[in-house]
Amino acid sequence: MMRLTLAALRNYASPVIARENPLIFNVLIFGAFQPFVWPSLAHQAAEHGVRAALTARHSGLFMWWLLAYFLPACVTLHFFRQVRADIAPAIPRLVAAERAAASVMFVLALGVLSAPLLWLGAPPAGAVALAAAGMLMGGVAGSFNNASASKLTRGFAVLLYLPVMLIGLTPSGLTTLLFLPTPITAGLAVAFMVALLISLVYRPAHAAARETAQDMAADAFAERAAARPPPQNPAAQRLAAFMAWRPAFMPVSPLPSLFGHYLGLPATALIILAQIVLFVTFMTGTGMLAGHQSFRHALHIVAPQALAYAALVGNLASSQWLLSRGDWPYLFSAGLYGPRAGFALALFRAHRLKTAEQAILSALLVTAAALILRRISPGQAPALLVIILGLSAGGAYGGAIPLLFGELGGKAVTVTCNLIVALATILVFGLTLEAPHHLLPLALLAATAGLALAATLDHLAPLRLARLDWPLETEPEVGG
């Protein structure tokens, strides 16, 4: 057992950890930011105190929070790739050894992430709790599809994950957790780490049985749905037809199996409105609790960041269609799209339509929200519409940048480019709403750059994609 555990630990210091691990570059990038973040925070803490330094809107603590997310997520992704391999059940104690190695890596990561907060002078229990919270969010995210986990375990993970995820949206949310009373932060730190370690429980036999049962249940549900007569409720039918409505010049995606079921314009608009309400409500509430501010004052402070997330948060997952290529060989061999170039063009055409639809609706709804919240004047609204359109388009195509270079680095670089471009668009838009009188011209330049990036990639990337290999992905999906 010890020998297998040491061998599993050695993998974390070898190129094995980077194989098909799209998060390793994110760890390296946000790790490289840390030497620039913490000296600046130390200088601010020396002048204004630890709490003021960490609560400052541009303190850089968010870069540490992203590292706290991606470091354990990278470990979890590697762990599930190892234990879900076909040969894993045939090797005695392999799963236990990999779980022990991943647990050791979690403990080491907790120490690494807590150290800069302790060096800054933060409360020890709060520093450990905040680091454990970030690790929980990243580590548990990779285990949501753990087929061997019980419903109780999954429910416990979700109950902890959702509030912790929202904590990191504002510096005040992070520092609220950091400066809670010591007994509370100590208890939270233990709860977060226990939940993180529980997420590593994987039993191959239970996973296989559960997956088989889920497949059988899905087939039975499909058979019942096919045999069931259509609903006779006229009101429900009219509502469903309204939510699925699309104008004739916006056809449904030709590749629905890759892009999910296409929603109608009313349904998409409803989702964006829900995002606006969610982000504005939660971030305002967090600002009120953390800073003991009135509702009006907290709303005025957090509105730019909340609207930026609501408008562009979808870009954070916009590269998924480029990563899920398991069905491509089958769809291409069906001959519906002609040569490989025709299939690649069909993919990008579907992505272009989806991007345009969401960008236009986001621009209209978020601009209206910015006017209602008095973040911009009516005369600035047209410029803001253009800015959101440009940033939405550029952010949605960030994951396609590696195609210009033969996709050097594979999936890891695709995810990293998508993340960097998406976060940059959120940052630019948030700063624009904070000072629209001064930053609108610069934001228009950024939006122009986003549109140029999208147009360039939409023109060049399909042919580059057609030249790449599309292997059949027969291995289990990582993280599930």
Between 392 and 200, the higher pLDDT residue: 392
For residue 157, being part of any structural domain is answered with yes
**Whole-prediction pTM:** 0.70
Band of residue 446 on the pLDDT scale cut at 50, 70, 90: confident
Burial of 421 (0-12, 13-18, 19+ CB in 10 A): buried
Helices (H) and strands (E) in the chain, counts: 20, 0
Question: What does the pLDDT look like over 64-106, one tens digit per residue?
Answer: 888 888 899 888 888 888 887 767 666 778 888 888 999 999 9
Q: How many residues can be counted in the chain?
A: 480
pLDDT at 479 over 50: no
The per-residue b/e assignment along 207-234, b for 16 or more CB within 10 angstroms, e otherwise, is: beebeeeeeeeeeeeeeeeeeeeeeeee
> For residues 386 and 61, what is the distance between their CA atoms, to the nearest angstrom?
30
> For residues 70 and 28, what is the distance between their CA atoms, to the nearest angstrom?
10
> For residues 84 and 207, what is the distance between their CA atoms, to the nearest angstrom?
9
> For residues 72 and 306, what is the distance between their CA atoms, to the nearest angstrom?
26
Q: Please report, rounded to a whole number, the percentage of residues in the chain having pLDDT higher than 90.
A: 16
200 in the same domain as 290? no
Provide the CA 124 distance to its chain's centre, in angstroms.
29
Question: 3-state DSSP call for residue 109?
Answer: helix
pLDDT at 416 over 90: no
For residue 478, being part of any structural domain is answered with no
Question: What does the pLDDT look like over 202-251, one tens digit per residue?
Answer: 776 566 666 666 667 766 776 776 666 665 677 777 777 777 777 776 66
Between 322 and 327, the higher pLDDT residue: 322
281 in the same domain as 199? no
For residue 260, being part of any structural domain is answered with yes
Domain that holds residue 307: 256-467
Closest Cα to residue 146, out of 211, 94, 73?
A: 211
The overall longest dimension of the chain from CA atoms, in Å, is: 71
Element (H, E) at 440: helix 436-467
Question: What does the pLDDT look like over 305-321, one tens digit per residue?
Answer: 889 988 998 888 888 88
Give whichever of 83-87, 148-152, 219-223, 275-279 has the largest mean pLDDT: 275-279
Total of domains in the chain = 2
> For residues 227 and 392, what is the distance between their CA atoms, to the nearest angstrom?
42
Band of residue 476 on the pLDDT scale cut at 50, 70, 90: very low
For residue 463, being part of any structural domain is answered with yes
For residue 313, being part of any structural domain is answered with yes
pLDDT in the model for residue 104: 92
pLDDT in the model for residue 475: 42
375 in the same domain as 262? yes
